[in-house]
Chain A
Amino acid sequence: MIKALILHASGTNRDSDLAYAIELAGGQPVIKPLSMLKESKSDWRDYGFLGLPGGFSYGDALGAGKLFALDMQTWFNDSLHDFVRSGRPVIGICNGFQALVKSGILPGKQHKATLTFNQRAHFECRWVTLEPNKANPSPWLQGLAPIECPVAHGEGRFFMEKSSELPHHQIALSYTHLDGTPAGNVYPVNPNGSPNDIAGITNSAGNVLGLMPHPENHIHAYQHPRWTRGQQNGLGLELFKNGIQMAR
């Protein structure tokens, strides 16, 4: 059984949602508050999978994910970087994605990026459709069908430093219309105004995935907003199965 380490910072709130998805995907999730992880000196090598869940760590003070990232850099810098370098699967969702970007793990050393305020300048919760990028060889995306799941964020607009661009093969998931055509930066299909409709990215090695939407909130058919109309495609569970598969 693959043990999955799920980090809980002060204000993390989708940790149990992520744990449940990992459990259904065949993993064995362990939620660890950072305070406990710091004290117990747990060996990160015991875990085959690392998850940074959504929430509002530190209330998003000073920028979403910023202080979660500072925690990682202050206390777990070596463990985290070793974990990433070892090629084991890492997923950061929403606030976890923000923390991975702000700690420099995503998109990677050679690029400076951020996740900033939505174009509409406020928090928004709605369902989106995500298309995996076929040019991205990451095992996270192997054989993955489009996913339908909710977004719930106010700071999800992915921005690179001026004059630099993310290599196309690092784009993991992008916002599309229901029929798969690109959102084309049209609101609300692209809910936050991310350039190139970027919803999620990987590092260049492909083992670290970060995304704003919440596939962990679509693991049962009855969570789909149109299930009463007989529509229940796009389970997010497949993504987590890929992650567990990678860890094996």
Chain B
Amino acid sequence: MLYRQLSRKTDTPSYRIVVESSLAYRSRKLQNQLIELGYKSEALPKVLDLYFLEGQLTAEDVKNIAEKLICDPVTERYSWMSLNAAEHGKAAKGQNTSSVEVTLRPGVTDNIAAELIKAAHRLGIEKLHSVTTGTRYEFNGCLDETDINQIAQDLLVNATIQQYTAGEIWPEFLHPVEGATKAEVIPLLAADEGELLVISQERRLALNLAEMLVVQNHFLVLGREPTDAELETIAQTWSEHCVHKTFKASIHVKTENTEIDGLIKTYLQAATRTINAAWVRSAFVDNAGVIAFDDEFDLSFKVETHNHPSAIEPFGGANTGVGGVVRDILGVSHRPIANTNVLCFGPQDQPVRDLPAGVLHPGRIKAGVVHGIEDYGNKLGLPTVNGAILYHPGYTANPLVYCGCVGFGPRDSHPCDPRPGDRVIVIGGKTGRDGIRGATFSSLTMDAQTGEVAGASVQIGDPITEKGVIEVVERARDEELYNAVTDCGAGGLSSAVGEMSENLGVKVDLAAVPLKYPGLVPWEIWLSEAQERMVLAVPPENLPALQRLCDTYWVELSDIGEFHASGQLEVVFGENLIVKLDNDFLHHGIPRLHLEATLDISPADSGYPSNPGHKQSIQLEEEILLSLLSHPNITSKEAVIRRYDHEVKGSTVIKPLVGLTHDGPSDACVMKPANTKGYRGFVLANGINPYIGEVDAYNMAVSVIDEAVRNVVAVGGDPDQTAILDNFCWGDPNRPETMGSLLKAAQGCHDAAVHFQTPFISGKDSLNNEYIGDDGKRRAIPGTLLISSISITPDIRNSVSMDLKSPGDLIYLVGEWKPALGGSHAVLVTRGREGDNYFGAVEALRKTPELSEPAPEVFRALHQAIHANLITAAHDLSEGGLAVSAAEMALAGHLGADLDLTKIHEDIKIALFAETNGCLLVAINLEKAKAFETHFNNLPIMQIGKVTETSVFTVIHQSKNIFQIPVEKLVAAFTAQRSSHD
């Protein structure tokens, strides 16, 4: 790591405390993991907690800390010793190496250590000044040192944030050292083109040659060299992450010889403009999109990605992904009220030896990401209520982690107008080296060294500090204490302060920024992405009131500068000038990117084997259905969903899991914001399907928008008050084919959004999701578009869940059923090792689901029917087609169904498993069937069966019995993977 300054004060004593629990749950978990990795583990391994204390402590102090603060008196016991540097070397040699000890690297956020120090001070033990925590694993002699090193690397340690020693580890403490207070000058003026690129690369600026030349020219005109901090500021401000160069680039389409004037403008914003919905309060301009909830309140919604950080340190990456999107909601002065997340991983059964060098196993990535989301969302007290998890070999090195957050606030309460004289106020966490250059990092392709070099970009969140910030911002808004607010995200203070002062000017003194530890150079303070910070523009007379609020909620406040009307960004460290840049150049100087696209796209090659470990082709309908239900993309996600608190705030009306025994997959969640009058609510859902995108990016966009809309409609959401968010995750757009598929997806977005009259209110892109291994081979994700939807339901009491309710109810197919097999899951599960497949001819496979012409009318009619209480259950047709949809309704209700699919299609396999847009299945009480049919009038509906008491799922086709599957067998297939996630 480049910037760490470590020293050990030999005169400060340090102590080691080892804590052993009488409960064996962690040992058993480790034992299972060892067995999974192929080690024989006869004796139960031990897992112990380590605490290293540093300070002039007495034996009494150490015992007090251990007994009163660390140990649980009922389940734990401890031992302690003082550490002696001189003897350590000797001891290490003779150690029993059947153990390994792991600690966090110095500088990595350690919330437990921080709380321990504070608590010890409260006990009056003021001399404790540093703590390091760790874990000791004892293997009871059954493994040799090679094994132990291997286990440490494969299972116990992530070298990005942790270090380990076989035997006893020697703790490292971070010590204060003097940091530079001046900026370094970077010689740029005389550099030739090659040297400019070297500078960009060495500092990981992610600026291309055209951009470096513009920067050079700017300083040539100024007649001086830039400082390091100035170059870094420009790189952050011009990064893909901050300005979306690709989405604003002009595109030349080679195959058609046309020019596109930017994807956002031409397709996404254009759709919103065309639709021109009165209830859209704010789209594309702020930290989050905003729609009207009722006459008094607004809802905001934002979805972000945190892909690169999650690839390297899954827990921290996902953890801070949640923290970041929650701050986006604070950035529109709303109270965060619900979280969502959509996760894409490589296959969990991938053999470790097949992984590209430097890549964590997809199983470890998933475990870390889920834990990271759980940790942050639960601790903030936000319900995590909607999401999806899917698997594809293309996500092995590049997992996708989409984190969403919904906010709620009174109308017109968000000030966004900093004034000259306002103070620049930072509240929340302190600044450390963690999280340097995240914005540019996320704009680079990863390689085997990324983990090491970019390690400083990754950090662990501190949700409790963020919780305090939430309390402060909401109250400060209500007391009208600030004129503008924004979050410190990628780029840290440089982008937050830079954006806020774009139309004004500012002077900031970095010496006033509170640091986690001294020793940071000025540009690091300026660029640090330390989490849990917000920047506010506060009139000086409001400072005392804001300070009181911060004191109440344990939040640190610092005053680092002043806004003024200079049109310049000026940063100093005390007397030293660090940055002086013209706002005009900084925010408008970036040369427009020109990109080439081709629409002649060959079938995607992800660089991974497409069907790892797949067996033979399967043929029988029953077999196909059961394999679909247990396919990782369709199977129950209960093991993950229950790790998230989806009940806190008491707002969750339709939950992620529904049905008789709460194991049915809900189409969407319905929420009623706490403390609102009446029964108005909102609905959250999403659509995602990279498999269709591999065949046709346009139809993927169309299909996932249809899916996001039909999901909200299924539970009671109003299709005429539904807004959507786009999140594009793609590969390297400099390749014309990648750009071409991005272009087709953007076109699909436009056409479908206008068709459904669902405006985009916010969007984000994450590009360069590629990985170049040591073998030089490029591996890219399948282009993946997530559409998140938010909709209003006029009355939550009319909400419908997807589980079948009563025997005798009739089952209808609603919508125009147009079968397609391209990108379908039926093809995926039936394809054998040789590519042989029942669904046969390649031409038929290439056809993907298209825009459904009658869908908007069908959805509107269904919405009315739901709120007229004509429907007892509704579920959409998606992956796996009609068969999976009907089977899920049956298994969730633990009720049987008789279906006759003769009228659907002459080929029963196509009738059962082909995929389509615009369709749902609904169950109707016999007495209401007539009213339902009358209501749908000329729209496409078809009665296909009824709910039975038999607990058997039966399908008939052309008078032939296709299968009779006991519902419990469906349940077993759907939940088969559930236990393996524990």
Question: Which residues of A come within 8 Å of B, CB atoms?
Answer: 10-11, 13-14, 16-17, 20, 33, 35-36, 54-56, 58-63, 66-67, 70, 74, 112-114, 116-117, 119-127, 150, 152, 159-161, 214, 216-220, 222-223, 225-226, 228-229
Across-interface contacts of B463 in A (CB, < 8 A):
11, 56, 59
User: Given contacts A61-B116, A126-B642, are A13 and B380 in contact (CB under 8 A)?
Assistant: yes
Of B529-537, B548-556, B849-857, the one contacting chain A is: B548-556
With both beta carbons as reference points, the residue of chain B lying nearest to A62 in the complex is identified as: B69
Q: How far is the CB of B816 from chain A (nearest CB, A)?
A: 27
Our pick among B26, B74, B468 for the contact of A113 (Cβ within 8 Å) is B74
User: Given contacts A11-B464, A33-B553, A35-B553, are A223 and B122 in contact (CB under 8 A)?
Assistant: no
Our pick among A16, A56, A124 for the contact of B643 (Cβ within 8 Å) is A124
Across-interface contacts of B192 in A (CB, < 8 A):
none
25 A/B residue pairs, CB under 8 Å, sorted by A: A10-B464, A11-B463, A11-B467, A16-B675, A20-B650, A35-B551, A36-B552, A56-B379, A56-B464, A58-B115, A62-B112, A70-B119, A114-B75, A116-B74, A122-B643, A124-B642, A125-B645, A152-B645, A152-B648, A160-B74, A217-B650, A218-B650, A225-B655, A225-B662, A228-B801
Q: How far is the CB of A239 from chain B (nearest CB, A)?
A: 15
Of B91-99, B626-634, B792-800, the one contacting chain A is: B792-800
The reply to whether A229 and B805 contact each other, CB–CB distance below 8 Å, is: yes
Give the interface centre of B114, B381, B553, B674 by most chain A CB atoms within 10 Å.
B381
Q: Does B3 belong to the interface (CB within 8 Å)?
A: no
Q: How far is the CB of B659 from chain A (nearest CB, A)?
A: 8
Q: How far is the CB of B111 from chain A (nearest CB, A)?
A: 5
The reply to whether B467 and A35 contact each other, CB–CB distance below 8 Å, is: no
User: Given contacts A59-B464, A116-B72, A125-B645, are A20 and B675 in contact (CB under 8 A)?
Assistant: yes
Q: How far is the CB of A73 from chain B (nearest CB, A)?
A: 10
Across-interface contacts of B552 in A (CB, < 8 A):
33, 35-36
Known contacts A56-B378, A66-B69, A152-B645; 15 additional CB pairs below 8 A are A10-B464, A13-B380, A16-B649, A16-B674, A36-B552, A62-B119, A113-B74, A114-B75, A120-B982, A121-B25, A127-B662, A159-B75, A220-B650, A222-B796, A226-B662
Across-interface contacts of B116 in A (CB, < 8 A):
61-62
Across-interface contacts of A114 in B (CB, < 8 A):
72-75
Among B64-100, those with CB < 8 Å from A are 68-70, 72-75
User: Given contacts A20-B650, A223-B653, A228-B800, are A61 and B112 in contact (CB under 8 A)?
Assistant: yes
With both beta carbons as reference points, the residue of chain B lying nearest to A214 in the complex is identified as: B647
Our pick among B380, B649, B658, B796 for the contact of A225 (Cβ within 8 Å) is B658
The reply to whether B115 and A223 contact each other, CB–CB distance below 8 Å, is: no
Q: How far is the CB of B338 from chain A (nearest CB, A)?
A: 13
Across-interface contacts of B111 in A (CB, < 8 A):
59, 61
Give the CA-CA distance A160 to B374 in the complex, in Å: 29
User: Given contacts A10-B464, A58-B115, are A116 and B75 in contact (CB under 8 A)?
Assistant: yes
10 smallest beta-carbon distances between A and B, as pairs: A13-B381, A61-B115, A114-B74, A150-B647, A121-B25, A56-B379, A228-B801, A152-B645, A11-B464, A59-B464
Our pick among B115, B643, B644, B797 for the contact of A222 (Cβ within 8 Å) is B797
Q: Does B620 belong to the interface (CB within 8 Å)?
A: no
Across-interface contacts of A74 in B (CB, < 8 A):
122
Give the CA-CA distance A60 to B375 in the complex, in Å: 11
Give the interface centre of A14, A33, A217, A228 by most chain B CB atoms within 10 Å.
A228
Among B523-552, those with CB < 8 Å from A are 551-552
Across-interface contacts of A220 in B (CB, < 8 A):
650
Our pick among A13, A59, A228 for the contact of B648 (Cβ within 8 Å) is A13
Q: How far is the CB of A144 from chain B (nearest CB, A)?
A: 20
Across-interface contacts of A33 in B (CB, < 8 A):
552-553
The reply to whether B25 and A119 contact each other, CB–CB distance below 8 Å, is: yes
User: Given contacts A59-B111, A70-B119, A217-B650, are A222 and B800 in contact (CB under 8 A)?
Assistant: no
Give the interface centre of A20, A161, A225 by most chain B CB atoms within 10 Å.
A225
The reply to whether B23 and A13 contact each other, CB–CB distance below 8 Å, is: no
Give the CA-CA distance A55 to B75 in the complex, in Å: 22
Question: Which residues of B come within 8 Å of A, CB atoms?
Answer: 23, 25-26, 29, 68-70, 72-75, 111-112, 114-116, 119, 122, 374, 378-381, 462-464, 467-468, 551-554, 642-650, 652-655, 657-658, 660, 662, 672, 674-675, 796-797, 799-801, 803, 805, 982
Give the CA-CA distance A88 to B623 in the complex, in Å: 63
Give the CA-CA distance A124 to B638 in the complex, in Å: 11
User: Given contacts A35-B551, A70-B122, A225-B655, are A17 and B379 in contact (CB under 8 A)?
Assistant: no
Across-interface contacts of A214 in B (CB, < 8 A):
647
The reply to whether B653 and A222 contact each other, CB–CB distance below 8 Å, is: yes
With both beta carbons as reference points, the residue of chain B lying nearest to A67 in the complex is identified as: B119
Give the CA-CA distance A123 to B648 in the complex, in Å: 14
Q: How far is the CB of B371 from chain A (nearest CB, A)?
A: 8
Q: How far is the CB of B467 from chain A (nearest CB, A)?
A: 6
Give the CA-CA distance A217 to B70 in the complex, in Å: 32
Across-interface contacts of B646 in A (CB, < 8 A):
125
The reply to whether A161 and B379 contact each other, CB–CB distance below 8 Å, is: no
Give the CA-CA distance A159 to B21 in the complex, in Å: 13
Give the CA-CA distance A117 to B649 in the complex, in Å: 24
The reply to whether B643 and A123 contact each other, CB–CB distance below 8 Å, is: yes
With both beta carbons as reference points, the residue of chain A lying nearest to B715 in the complex is identified as: A228
User: Given contacts A10-B468, A70-B119, A228-B800, are A59 and B379 in contact (CB under 8 A)?
Assistant: yes
Our pick among B23, B115, B672, B796 for the contact of A67 (Cβ within 8 Å) is B115
The reply to whether B75 and A17 contact each other, CB–CB distance below 8 Å, is: no
With both beta carbons as reference points, the residue of chain B lying nearest to A193 in the complex is identified as: B25
With both beta carbons as reference points, the residue of chain A lying nearest to B116 in the complex is identified as: A62
Give the CA-CA distance A10 to B796 in the complex, in Å: 33
The reply to whether A14 and B643 contact each other, CB–CB distance below 8 Å, is: no
Q: How far is the CB of A36 from chain B (nearest CB, A)?
A: 5
Across-interface contacts of A117 in B (CB, < 8 A):
23, 25
With both beta carbons as reference points, the residue of chain B lying nearest to A55 in the complex is identified as: B381
Across-interface contacts of A226 in B (CB, < 8 A):
660, 662
With both beta carbons as reference points, the residue of chain A lying nearest to B657 in the complex is identified as: A225
Q: How far is the CB of B350 from chain A (nearest CB, A)?
A: 24
The reply to whether A13 and B551 contact each other, CB–CB distance below 8 Å, is: no
User: Given contacts A35-B552, A35-B554, A117-B23, are A161 and B796 in contact (CB under 8 A)?
Assistant: no
Give the CA-CA distance A20 to B650 in the complex, in Å: 10
Give the CA-CA distance A33 to B471 in the complex, in Å: 11
Q: How far is the CB of B113 from chain A (nearest CB, A)?
A: 9
Across-interface contacts of A59 in B (CB, < 8 A):
111-112, 115, 379, 462-464
Give the CA-CA distance A62 to B674 in the complex, in Å: 32
Give the interface centre of A112, A125, A222 by most chain B CB atoms within 10 Å.
A125
The reply to whether A125 and B644 contact each other, CB–CB distance below 8 Å, is: yes
Give the CA-CA distance A161 to B68 in the complex, in Å: 17
Our pick among B29, B381, B462, B800 for the contact of A14 (Cβ within 8 Å) is B381
Across-interface contacts of B652 in A (CB, < 8 A):
223
With both beta carbons as reference points, the residue of chain B lying nearest to A23 in the complex is identified as: B675
Q: How far is the CB of B130 from chain A (nearest CB, A)?
A: 16
Q: How far is the CB of A211 from chain B (nearest CB, A)?
A: 15
Across-interface contacts of A152 in B (CB, < 8 A):
378, 645, 647-648
With both beta carbons as reference points, the residue of chain B lying nearest to A121 in the complex is identified as: B25
Give the CA-CA distance A16 to B115 in the complex, in Å: 25
With both beta carbons as reference points, the residue of chain A lying nearest to B649 in the complex is identified as: A17
Give the CA-CA distance A59 to B468 in the complex, in Å: 12
Across-interface contacts of B662 in A (CB, < 8 A):
126-127, 225-226
Q: How far is the CB of A23 from chain B (nearest CB, A)?
A: 10
Give the CA-CA distance A218 to B551 in the complex, in Å: 33
User: Given contacts A70-B119, A121-B25, A126-B642, are A217 and B801 in contact (CB under 8 A)?
Assistant: no
Q: How far is the CB of A162 from chain B (nearest CB, A)?
A: 8
Our pick among A54, A58, A119, A229 for the contact of B464 (Cβ within 8 Å) is A58
The reply to whether A159 and B654 contact each other, CB–CB distance below 8 Å, is: no
Give the CA-CA distance A10 to B463 in the complex, in Å: 11
With both beta carbons as reference points, the residue of chain A lying nearest to B802 in the complex is identified as: A228
With both beta carbons as reference points, the residue of chain B lying nearest to A10 in the complex is identified as: B554
Our pick among B74, B379, B801 for the contact of A159 (Cβ within 8 Å) is B74
Give the interface centre of A59, A66, A67 by most chain B CB atoms within 10 Å.
A59
